[in-house]
Copies of this chain bind each other. A is one copy, B any other.
Amino acid sequence: MSGLPWLVIVTGASRGLGRCLAQEAVRSIGKDHRMTLLLMARSESGLMETAASIRGMNSEDVTIEVQPVDLGNLSTLETSLQNAFSGLDARHYQRCVLFNNAGSLGELAPAMDLSFAGLREAVDLNITSAMWVTCAFVNLILPRWQQQQQQQGGDSGLAERPEGGAGQQQQSGDAQQQPNSADSQQPQQPPPPTEAGGSGSEGAAAASMPDVVVNISSLAAVKPFPTWAAYCAGKAARDMFHAALAAEHRASQLRVLSYAPGPLDTDMQARIRAADGCAPELRAFFATMQRDGALVRPSESAARCVRLVREGCWECGAHVDFFD
C-alpha cells in the first residue's frame, strides 16, 4: 500500500448500522488503503465491541481510535468534538470521509401526544448535533484543501474568508440566475474522479480525490409517516442541510450524499414493532417485513453505502435510497 492513508469517521458506531459501516469501511477500503478509523458514540463499551470486531479483519494498516462522546448533549458538543478531532491533521490524509450516522428514533406517537422533553431531545441529537458534526468535519478538512490550493496554485473552488468577517462562498453560478429556477443548484462541474476511473498513478488520483460527507438519511426524510412526525422532521432537516452544503461546494473538493439505508433489521426495528404509540399500520407493515425476512441486513446496506463513497456515482447533495 502506498500513498497517504484515508481518514474515516463514523458517528453512532457502537451498534447497528454505524458498527457495520465501520466494519465495511475496513473490509472494503482497508484492503487498498491505510486508514485512520475514528469511532464515536455515547457507549464506550459498544465502541470497544465494534473495535474488537474489526481487529482480525484486514486491519493491519488500520489505526482505530475510539472516542466516547455524547453527541446529544449540546452543552458539551463543541468541546467534545474539538477534543475528538484534536489529534487529527487532515493534511496527513489522502481522503477524509464522514459517516454522519448518529441519531435516535425518539418517541413514536401522534404529535399531540409527544412530550416536550422527548421532542427536544430528538431535535437536539438528530438535527442540531448532526448539523454541527458536519460543520466540524468540514472545518477539520479545511487545512487540506488550503494546502492543495497552494500546491496547485489554482482555484479549488474553496471559499475565501475575508479577514475579520464571516466567510463568503464563491459560487460558480450566474449571479443573475433565478434562485427558484429548477436547476440553479445543480452541480455544474464535471463529475469528480472516482477510484474506479482514476487518472493513473495513485498519487495523481489521490491529489484530486474529493472528501465525502455521508448523511445517514431515511425514507422518512422524504415521506411523512403518521406518528413519526419528529423523526421525519429530523431526517428532512438533515437532508436539506446537506443539500445546501452541497450547493455551497459545487466547485470544491467536497462531495455530499444523503443515504437512506432501507428498513434495517436492527434494534430500531424491534423498537418500532414494540412502540405502543406507533401507527398500527406501520407496526403491522414492519412486523410483516420482519416475519418474511424482508428487512435489510445492516451489513448489506453498509456495503452499498461504502461502495457509493468509493465509486462517487451520485449527484452531489442527492438523496439515494438502498433500493434505488
Report how far A277 CA is from B164 CA in the complex, Å. 12
Within 8 Å CB of A223, what residues of B? Answer: 179-180, 185
Choice from B138, B230, B246, B281 contacting A175 with Cβ under 8 Å: B281
Within 8 Å CB of A162, what residues of B? Answer: 276
Choice from B135, B226, B233 contacting A238 with Cβ under 8 Å: B233
Within 8 Å CB of A120, what residues of B? Answer: 74, 128
Known: A114-B135, A176-B284, A245-B229. A240 touches B219 (CB 8 A): no
Known: A279-B169, A285-B179. A230 touches B131 (CB 8 A): yes
Known: A120-B128, A233-B241, A236-B237. A179 touches B225 (CB 8 A): yes
Stretch at the interface among A18-26, A105-113, A188-196, A201-209: A105-113
Choice from B110, B237, B246, B282 contacting A234 with Cβ under 8 Å: B237
Shortest Cβ distance from residue A164 to the other chain B in the assembled complex, whole angstroms: 10
Choice from B109, B179, B180 contacting A166 with Cβ under 8 Å: B109
8 pairs of A and B residues whose beta carbons are closest in the complex: A229-B244, A236-B240, A224-B243, A237-B237, A166-B277, A113-B167, A233-B241, A224-B244
Could you tell me which A residues sit within 8 Å of B by CB distance? 74, 77-78, 107, 109-114, 116, 119-120, 123, 127-128, 131-132, 134-135, 138-139, 142, 159, 161-162, 165-169, 171, 173-180, 185, 219, 221, 223-230, 232-241, 243-248, 276-277, 279-282, 284-285, 288, 317
